[in-house]
Amino acid sequence: MEISHVVEDNRNENMQNSQTLLSSKSCVSSQNEYTQEVEPGPPHESLFLVLAYLPLFELLAMSEVCMSLRDTVHNDVLLWLNIIVERPLSLRLSDEILMKITSKASGRLKTLVLINCEKITDDGLQLVVRKNPHINKLFLPECTGLTPEGVIRAVKTLSENHHSLKSLRIHGIYNIKKDHLNTIRSYFQMKLPQQEHQRQQPILFHHRNSPEFRNEESNPMIGIDVDICPKCNNVSMVYDCPRETCKKKSCKACNLCIPRCEECGECIIESEELEATACGDNLCSNCWLQLPKCNFCNQPYCKLHINHQHRLSSSNGFVCDACHVKFVAMLGACYC
């Protein structure tokens, strides 16, 4: 009886092993069939539809993936009608590279955005606008290599031959005076209808860094971003105040004349004290109370510098840069 039980157990084990072996072989065969079915080929057609929505950096990277994508990126003019250059490309962009990129539009360029492109010169910009006379949005913020005379020359070129430059952003370019601004305005007044002059949207301080040029239809900006400050009479970014009590009085000025909250954009009145922050930016009392604070110094970061927070694994709070340096120094002194 014991021998029969042992034989039956051996038979069962052999059957189980054979089933396991068969299942493993079937899995291997299915994997082989799957690997045999998948062969190298051209990208899926839907991938080509995504190219029009990619930023410039990713678009250039896609051109290095395969030959079909390279040919599409280089030959499709529609991908190059709106060129936005920002970091990290802005630090490397030169006049020669800009000319190569804009030439892909074949003279049909509509939007040219150069953010903090320090190497772009007046001659490089003029060469681009000459070959692309249909540009209606020209954004040059923080392009410190440009001069007011170079901007005037570019605006004049784009305003000739019945071509309308509708939107211009030049804040951050050095030495722009009232005479320069008045000259630029004269070219806008020659070409823009009166109804478009009235479409200038209020410029709020806390929205100045938002990428609204990516959504011009919902938040159109017609005209020039800089203005003459009514307080100091200098050319600068002049901000409106969203505070309800300030809409009836003159609270429109540059940030140097009227300090504003980095979070809500409201003016900080003289009776209100500036709250201390870890990043050094201005905050009103209401926004200061709502923001999370450093666990050590009890000072918040504004939304522009929230990435400077050092998160703690042992708690839900954070430590600011200054306190983090002190904390690391204290730990180093303890272990020495």
Residue at 56 is within a domain:
no
Whether 140 has a pLDDT exceeding 90, the answer reads yes
Give domain status of residue 24, yes or no.
no
Asked if residues 104 and 78 have their Cβ atoms less than 8 Å apart, the reply is no
Task: State CA 266 to chain mean position distance.
Answer: 24
**pLDDT score, position 115:** 92
Does 240 map to a domain? Answer: no
What is the average per-residue pLDDT within 29-47?
57
Residue 71 reports pLDDT greater than 90 = no
Average pLDDT along the chain: 78
Q: Residue 1: which pLDDT band, with cuts at 50, 70 and 90?
A: very low
Rg (CA), the chain: 31
Beta-strand relationship, 235-237 and 226-228: antiparallel
| Over residues 142-147, mean pLDDT | 94
Instruction: Identify whether the C-beta of residue 50 lies closer than 8 Å to the C-beta of residue 75.
Output: no
Q: How far apart are CA 27 and CA 21, in angstroms?
A: 10
In angstroms, the CA 124 to CA 102 distance is 11
267: helix, strand or coil: strand
What integer pLDDT is reported at residue 286 of this predicted model?
86
34 domain-assigned:
no
In the prediction, which pLDDT does 217 show?
A: 45
Tokens of 140: 């040059």
The arithmetic mean of pLDDT across residues 309-316, rounded, is 75
What the block records as the tokens of 94 is: 């030169």
pLDDT number for residue 219: 47
Closest alpha carbon to 84 in 108, 53, 107, 61: 53
Lowest-pLDDT choice from 10-24, 213-227, 237-251, 253-267: 10-24
pLDDT at 150: 96
Residue given tokens 């340096």 in the structure block: 325
Q: What is the mean pLDDT of residues 208-214?
A: 58
Most confident of 56-65, 101-110, 210-219, 323-332: 101-110
Whole-number pLDDT of residue 87: 85
Has residue 114 been placed in a domain?
A: yes
Greatest mean pLDDT among 4-18, 71-85, 128-142, 270-284 lies in 128-142
Highest mean pLDDT range out of 190-204, 263-277, 322-336?
Answer: 263-277
Q: Pick from 8-12, 148-152, 272-276, 302-306 the range whose average pLDDT is largest.
A: 148-152
- Between CA 269 and CA 312 the distance in angstroms is 36
Best CA proximity match to 76, nearest among 106, 53, 100: 106
H/E stretch holding 129 reads helix 122-131
Residue 132: is it exposed, middle or buried by C-beta count within 10 angstroms (0-12/13-18/19+)? buried
Which residue has better confidence, 329 or 165? 165
pLDDT band per the 50, 70, 90 thresholds, residue 12: low
Domain count, the chain: 1
Strands 82-85 and 223-224: unpaired
Residue 312 is assigned to a structural domain of this protein: no
pLDDT band at 3 (very low <50, low <70, confident <90, very high): very low
Residue 323 falls inside a structural domain: no
pLDDT of the residue at 149: 96
The structure tokens listed for 244 are 């309800």
Give the contacts of 193 (CB within 8 A, at least 6 positions apart): none
pLDDT for res 113: 93
DSSP code at position 60 = H
The pLDDT value recorded for residue 335 is 55
Domain of 105? 81-192+220-224
In a domain, 267, yes or no: no
3-state secondary structure 134-183: CCCEEECCCCCCCCHHHHHHHHHHHHCCCCCCCEEECCCCCCCCHHHHHH
Confidence band of 120 (pLDDT split at 50, 70, 90)? very high
Question: If 0-12 CB within 10 Å is exposed, 13-18 middle and 19+ buried, where does residue 327 land?
Answer: middle
